[in-house]
Chain A
Amino acid sequence: MIWLTWRQHRIEGLITLGVLAVLGVFLLITGLNMYHDFQQSGLSACLAHYTDGALRTVCGPLANAFGAQFQSLILVSAAPLLLPALLGVLVGGPLVAREYQQRTHLLVWMQSVTRSRWLTVKLALVLGAGAVAAGALLALMIWWYGPFSQLNGRFSPPAYDFEGPVLVGVTVMALALGIAAGTVTRRTVPAILLTFALLLAVRYTVELGGLRANFEPPIVVTWPLAQGLGSGPPVTLSMQDWVIDGGFIDAQGHITNDLNCSGGSSVSNAQTPPAIPPAPLNPLQCAQAQGYHSFALNYQPADRFWTFQWIETSLYLAISALAVAVTAFLVRRRLS
């Protein structure tokens, strides 16, 4: 069975390996360059010397220069988002679907290996290989992103996705969902589409839908409007904290930064914590007129990073387990 799994998936396996190798070389070259500059420019020493609160004022110019030079490389961080999806769609989707479609399940299930064993070995090898590939990419990305993570933090997207075991979890999930989708549809192309839709649904719920932001209730900081538009929160936020949302808070605890005053004033959100909110056309009176009494900011403190990583990884692994259960049930029960 191990031989058969390798024989059937060696092309995908080698392509994945090739992509990882090319990416690895690229990350190594750019990474070394980046680390070199990080040290030489004194940014590294500056960051080590000053607390995060002083980042903007003291190390700011150095950080800006570093950012200007390497910011475009951040596009690389799309790789850890793409790899799991591609594996799920292109390897997971066809894994069982292609057998049904070409009717080779009638050949392979009639060898002296039971269907359960066939599926167990295939799942173990393919999911295992996916996890190893994701682990390798994870290690590369953690190293490569090191300087950026000191500047931008690793809790907020996109760094969160490749700074911890979530990357392995999401890769295993993508593969498992693909395999389950293929077992349900029994056709390769619908399997690919269904896998893609499922992955989008999960990721949308977790990221944009706010599931991740609420694994633990975010800490809400408020301060009175009277302190004026230039004022900052009464806590020192580090770059490692994840600021989710900021703006004005009403009596019910709703936070908004879109006031819709007749003046057309809308306040940009507070991704960069100390600068809340920059002032367009007198939004302060506008906010007061609409019943808001305070500025507010909600965030997840940096020390929750690993808790969040493990919660989200467990969630993805639970979804994987469900997908595997569906696959096993259908493979054992249904023939065509």
Chain B
Amino acid sequence: MSTVLETTGLSKRYGRTWALQDCTLALPSGRVAALVGPNGAGKTTLLLLCVGLLDPTAGSVQVFGRSPHQQAAETLPRLSFVAQDHPLYKDFTVSDLLTLGRRLNPRWDDALARARMQHLGIPLTRPTGKLSGGQQAQVALVLALAKRPDLLLLDEPLASLDPLARRDFLRTLMDAQLETGQTVLLSSHIIGDLERVCDYLIILSAAHVQLAGDINEIARTHKRLVGPRQDVAAIARVHTIIETSHTARQTTLLVRTSGPIVDTSWEVQEASLEDIVLAYLTQQAAEATKATERMQAPLPAAQEPQGLEQEIEEVEL
């Protein structure tokens, strides 16, 4: 399986703030990947870098083996991007937008676009500004799909939609994906919506990639361990502890396993994807808090406050 999207040490700085730092990942072809992280984690920045709308401060990003920023003429026809809140020309009719798509894209599939609009019951003669939010999102998605991209990126596509519109939106997306096998990367600040449609997960938090991999693989290697309250050092020697919580008598861990759990004092439970994501985000937040506390306490020696400060600052584009 070839790689569609590859980033190496990808970093982007706005002014003095790093929106994305040292991001290295590879997205195999044909995947439907979820890019999950809290608001301000750098998701939008990463997507904009991937489609070539931004150029990196450091590191590199390659789409189909090319730089999307430097070689836009080659990559643009094979990429589609639906920006957050799916901007459209509000005074254009749906038909105008289809004409725009047809005239500006060599691979445009007009029949597909018209069929989808008809299927969705969206009148071609209506100005897009007069459509409902869900319909506008659908129009933006159809525009992106009819371009026949090899890689489709969507930034928070579900954020502004009600549950019904979310379901319809995902249905349109998954129908098209099944048909064409195109690679999809969609971002969200919650995993719940995406769990059913995605088979690949990238967790982004505080400008860094925390985890990236096949969803089944992630589910298989992450376990919840419950046992009597105890020291966790032994577990930490073999496995990676993502999250620890203690009650008076009990210790609960979320670990990334590096093999079977042999210590029988732990009860091993499956962890839901949502738990895993939350654990990674909590871990990051805890580290950030610690960093802040360290900074606020009088420093015994020159530590490197600059780096810490940048790490916890967040930027949303």
Contacts and interface: CB of A to CB of B under 8 A. Distances in A.
A4 B83 contact: no
A78 B92 CA distance: 35
B104 A104 contact: no
Interface string B71-98: 0110011011101010111101000100
B211 interface: no
Interface string B51-86: 101110000000000000000110011011101010
B48 A335 contact: yes
B163 interface: no
A109 interface: yes
A8 B104 CA distance: 14
Given A106-B81, A106-B83, A336-B317, A111 B88 contact: no
A161 to B, nearest CB: 35
Contacts of A114: 72-73, 76
Contacts of A108: 100, 104
Interface string A321-335: 000000000000101
A112 B107 CA distance: 9
B67 to A, nearest CB: 13
- Interface-central residue, A106, A108, A115, A333, by most chain B CB under 10 Å: A106
**Chain A interface SS verdict (over half):** loop
26 contacts: A1-B103, A4-B104, A7-B96, A7-B100, A8-B89, A102-B90, A103-B85, A106-B53, A106-B83, A106-B87, A107-B83, A107-B140, A107-B143, A110-B76, A110-B79, A110-B83, A111-B76, A111-B101, A112-B76, A112-B105, A112-B147, A113-B76, A113-B104, A114-B73, A333-B55, A335-B53
A187 to B, nearest CB: 15
A104 B48 CA distance: 14
Nearest to A114: B72
Interface of B: 48, 51, 53-55, 72-73, 76-77, 79-81, 83, 85, 87-90, 92, 96, 99-101, 103-107, 140, 143, 147, 317
Nearest to B73: A114
A109 B53 contact: yes
B79 A102 contact: no
Contact of A103 (B79, B80, B87): B87
Contacts of A102: 87, 89-90
Q: 7 smallest A-B Cβ distances: which pairs?
A: A106-B83, A111-B104, A112-B77, A103-B87, A110-B81, A112-B105, A114-B72
Given A3-B99, A103-B83, A103-B85, A110 B51 contact: yes
B87 to A, nearest CB: 4
B78 to A, nearest CB: 9
B88 A3 contact: no
Nearest to A11: B91
Contacts of A115: 72
A8 B91 CA distance: 9
A67 B54 CA distance: 62
Contacts of B87: 102-104, 106-107
Contacts of A111: 76, 100-101, 104-105, 147
A32 B174 CA distance: 70
A44 to B, nearest CB: 52
Contacts of A112: 76-77, 104-107, 147
B103 A104 contact: no
Nearest to B317: A336
B53 A110 contact: yes
B106 to A, nearest CB: 6
A136 B48 CA distance: 44
